[in-house]
Amino acid sequence: MTSNDGAFPAAEADRVEVGGMALWIRPIGPRDDRRLVEFFHSLSPRSIYMRFFAPMKQLSETMVARLTRVDPRRHIALAAYPGSGPDEPMLGVGRMIAQTDPRRAEFSIVVTDAFQGLGIGAALLQRCIDLAPSRGIEKIRGLVLAENTRMLALGRKLGFTIQRAGGAEYELAIDVTVAAPETERMVQRVTTL
């Protein structure tokens, strides 16, 4: 795995405020290999299971490459960092990947255990939703385990419909072409650099 710890251009990062805490949200790229592996190891087995729907002990080099070398036309990949700067350890990761029909995408969100419940997942998901129309994405969905009550509550708050998808999963879905512009914002953008 390669790693490049060089600073990211300021134009790539958004500074947002979540529950009184300043965060940076910026795109994930190849220089994040090491940070992504460190982030994965900061997750509890339960958080890993909630995100990947399976137990995992580590990310393979192939998987790290797939998660950091993304096609920006089809894959929105964002990371949240503490307010001290976008080169700090990751606190959360949000993704939206276009499907076979490029107007449809699937999302996923995961936040390190020590920072769950503070609004970081909401900030990442809201930013993915904000970016979706610029990528031609109209409909967004995600599968969530029934026991992931925080994610189900977040989906409701952001205007997603929730339906049983079979087994122990629910499908969250939203059509961004008809979502009301007044959809509750849980994140205040402090400044866009």
CATH number for position 26: 3.40.630.30
More confident site: 172 or 178: 172
Domain membership flag for residue 3: no
Q: Which residues pair with 55 in a beta bridge?
A: none
Domain membership flag for residue 1: no
Give CA–CA dist 131/125, Å, rounded.
10
Give the contacts of 24 (CB within 8 A, at least 6 positions apart).
Answer: 13, 14, 15, 16, 80, 81, 82, 83, 85, 86
Q: What's the number of domains the chain is made of?
A: 1
Domain membership flag for residue 159: yes
Q: Residue 54 — φ and ψ, nearest 5°? A: -160, 150
DSSP string spanning 42-62? HS-HHHHHHHHSS--S---HH
Does the pLDDT value for residue 126 go beyond 60?
Answer: yes
According to the model, what pLDDT value does residue 87 have?
67
Domain membership flag for residue 43: yes
Domain membership flag for residue 150: yes
According to the model, what pLDDT value does residue 6 have?
39
Instruction: For residue 128, give its domain range.
Output: 10-192
Token pair belonging to 180: 């009301």
Domain membership flag for residue 123: yes
What pLDDT, in 10s, does the model give residues 139-149? 999 999 999 99
CA of 104: how far to CAs of 35, 56, 57, 133, 141, in Å? 29, 28, 31, 11, 8
Give CA–CA dist 25/106, Å, rounded.
19
Domain membership flag for residue 85: yes
According to the model, what pLDDT value does residue 113 have?
93
Could you identify the residue written with the tokens 């107007």? 103
Give CA–CA dist 162/168, Å, rounded.
13
More confident site: 127 or 84: 127
What pLDDT, in 10s, does the model give residues 12-64? 678 888 878 889 999 999 999 999 999 999 999 999 988 888 888 999 999 99
Token pair belonging to 62: 């192939």
Does the pLDDT value for residue 184 go beyond 80?
Answer: no
